[in-house]
Structures are given as structure tokens and as C-alpha cells.
Amino acid sequence: MKKEVMIVTGAGQIGMALARRTGFGKKIILGDKSMKNAENIAEIMNNAGYDVIPFEMDLSSREDILAIIRKAQECGEIKYLINAAGVSPSQAPIEAILKVDLYGTAVLLEEVGKVIAEGGVGVTISSQSGWRMPQLTPEEDRQLAMTPTEELLSLPLLQPENIRDTLHAYQLAKRCNEKRVMYECIRWGERGARLNDIAPGIIVTPLAVDEFNGPRGGFYKNMFAKCPAGRPGTADEMANIAELLMSDAGAFITGSTFLADGGATASYYYGPLQP
Ligand SMILES: NC(=O)c1ccc[n+]([C@@H]2O[C@H](COP(=O)([O-])OP(=O)(O)OC[C@H]3O[C@@H](n4cnc5c(N)ncnc54)[C@H](O)[C@@H]3O)[C@@H](O)[C@H]2O)c1
């Protein structure tokens, strides 16, 4: 029997947790900029009974995105997308954060949306970080949502003089992810498919550990100490949400961002984390 086909980008902890929860019995094409990461996760999953093909691809390149789509299509029509590739504020300069997290995600949602199977479903990962940034104007939100992908990085609000630091770039990128999901879910819907977003709080992964040990380490540790949950989250808890979003139980959910941050955003606005 032909297997359903799933693209997963980002062979990290969150990508693997979501793929393990939702990808059993499917053909999974696992893309990552680091072939070593893709191969490592593919090996772990294949040794656990999954069917994963590692694939080298850079999310910031449309050519590479089209290449992973072609690779997946060799196996059949694409039914599922999980986008968990990304770089964090301590890992990359402003330009790379915008190119990978903002532009790359927008292109991936656009291109997969052109070929997604009927009944298909996609999940992308933004971040609570986007919720903490002050509101943008309605026009700026609209620009992030609807500007053609090749013009996105030319938007005035994304120019270097308007971006304070890598955290600000990351917040803008993650806000853009949410807006893009709202915009693209319309096109996905025309094909009978759904698209949603999960905005995690601090999840213990190598990316988060880089943050704990980076220049904002104290800030992060304080954040989970003073949120209602009183702890960081786990990738498996993000998989709980993906399981809902990607199953028939989530059939009425599309264009949504699910904030799952242990209440850190609530505490930031109205509790002990208020600045
Ligand atoms: N861990 C957290 O606390 C946290 C919180 C909020 C949001 N997120 C988001 O979750 C996503 C996954 O993060 P994670 O914690 O699993 O991190 P991770 O470091 O475990 O995995 C990220 C993966 O993305 C890959 N990657 C980086 N740049 C890429 C590119 N240009 N093209 C293709 N692959 C690339 C890396 O090689 C890595 O394998 C990211 O978008 C991140 O911003 C993480």
C-alpha cells in the first residue's frame, strides 16, 4: 500500500517530537540544513520503526524548498507538512534570522500550499516571542501577512535601521509566521487542506540550551521561574498540540496560532514577569 507523504523541515527536538507523534506509517522526508542532524534523527526514527529519508536543504532557499517538495512528490502526493526548522536570537545574526525564520517559512508555506493534497494539513512553529513584541500597526501586520514572498525582506519595518537586535528580528519573524499562516490558510483551504501554527514558550532543546547559556540566559531562567507553570516545556507537549491540529479532531481549526508557553505571556502582561 502506498504511504501518505509528510515533509518535515528541522531535524531538531521539536521537529522529531512532532514527526514521531504524527508520522507513524507515513513516508517522511526530513529536511535540514545540517545533513548530520537530518541523518541522526532519521536513524533514531528508522530504528524505532518509522520510514524517514534525510534530505539536505536550506529553508532560506526557494530552490531548496522546491527540491524537498520534488523529493517528497517522488513518493506520492504531499499530505502533511511540519515546519520546525529555525534559528534563535543567540544562534544567528539579524539577516540570517529574517532569511530563515521569516522569508524561508513564508516560501515553504506558499510552495507546499500549491501542491498539498486534499485533506492535507500543515503545522509550523513560531514562538511566544512574537507575542511579547508591542503591537504592530494594522498596515504592518497586513504587510507581513500578504506581501509577495520575494518582496518581504524589502519591507521598511524589516530594514536594519528599524531592527534593534537579534531578539527583535526573531520576534518580527515569528509575528510574520502567525500572519502568514492566516494568509496562506485561505489558499490551503481552497485545496481542502488546513494550516496552523504552534507558538511554544521555552522548550528544553539544544536551541533553548544555547539561549540559557547565551547573553539572555538570566532573562530566560527568570521567565520560566515566574510563569504560572513554573518550568520550561517539553517538545512532547508541543506534539500533543500537533496531534490535535493534524487529526480529524482538529478539522475546524485552520489559520490559528496556539500559544503554549506555561502562561509566560500572561505573566509578562499581567503578572510577575511585567517589565
Ligand atoms: N526550543 C524553544 O524553546 C523554542 C521556543 C519557541 C520556538 N521555537 C522554535 O521551534 C523551532 C524548532 O526549534 P528546536 O527548539 O527544535 O531547535 P533545534 O535546534 O533542536 O532544531 C532546529 C533545527 O533547524 C535546523 N535549521 C536551522 N537553520 C536551518 C535552515 N536554514 N534550513 C534548514 N534547517 C535549519 C537546525 O540545523 C536544527 O536541526 C524553531 O523555529 C524555533 O524558533 C523553539
What does the pLDDT look like over 208-259, one tens digit per residue?
888 788 887 888 888 888 999 999 999 999 999 999 999 999 999 999 999 9
Q: Using the mean position of ligand 1's atoms as its centre, give its distance from the Cα of residue 205 in Å.
A: 9
Cα end-to-end distance, the chain, whole Å: 56
> pLDDT tens, 3-12?
999 999 999 9
User: Per-residue pLDDT tens for 86-120?
Assistant: 998 888 999 999 999 999 999 999 999 999 999 99
Q: What is the pLDDT of residue 214?
A: 83
CATH code of the domain occupying 5-269: 3.40.50.720
Q: What is the pLDDT of residue 220?
A: 83
Q: Provide the grid cell at 73.
A: 512528490
Annotate 246-261 with DSSP letters as a single string.
TSGGGTT--S-EEEES
Q: Are 196 and 184 in contact (CB under 8 A)?
A: no
Residue 177 has pLDDT above 90, yes or no: yes
To the question of pTM greater than 0.95 for the whole model, the response is: yes
Quick one: what percent of the chain has pLDDT higher than 90? 88
What is the model's pLDDT at position 180? 98
Confidence of residue 128 (pLDDT cuts 50, 70, 90): very high
Question: Do 6 and 228 meet the contact criterion of CB atoms below 8 Å apart?
Answer: no
Q: Render pLDDT for 64-86 as a digit per residue (tens, 0 to 9).
A: 999 999 999 999 999 999 999 99
Using the mean position of ligand 1's atoms as its centre, give its distance from the Cα of residue 11 in Å.
8
**Alpha carbon distance 103, 152 (integer Å):** 7
Entry field: residues in the chain? 275
Work out which ligand 1 atom sits closest to the CA atom of 38.
39
* Beta-strand pair 5-9/27-32: parallel
Which of 7, 91, 207, 259 has most ligand 1 atoms within 8 Å of its beta carbon, as the pocket-test mutant? 207
The catalytic position among 27, 33, 99, 174 is 174
Which residues lie with the beta carbon below 6 Å from any ligand 1 atom?
A: 9-15, 32-34, 37, 57-60, 84-88, 100, 125, 127, 200, 202-203, 205-208
Average per-residue pLDDT for the chain = 96
Q: Which atom of ligand 1 is nearest to the CA of 58?
A: 32
Rounded to whole angstroms, the Cα distance separating 236 from 19 reads 10
pLDDT of residue 217: 86
Residue 170 falls in the annotated catalytic set:
yes
Cα 85 to averaged position of ligand 1 atoms, centre (Å): 4
Whole-number pLDDT of residue 207: 72
Q: Whose CA is nearest to atom 21 of ligand 1?
A: 12
Q: What is the pLDDT of residue 74?
A: 97
Question: Which residue in 50, 170, 183, 220 is the catalytic one?
Answer: 170
At residue 50, the pLDDT reads 98
Residue 2's pLDDT band (cuts 50, 70, 90): confident
Quick: pLDDT tens for 24-80. Answer: 999 999 999 999 999 999 999 999 999 999 999 999 999 999 999 999 999 999 999
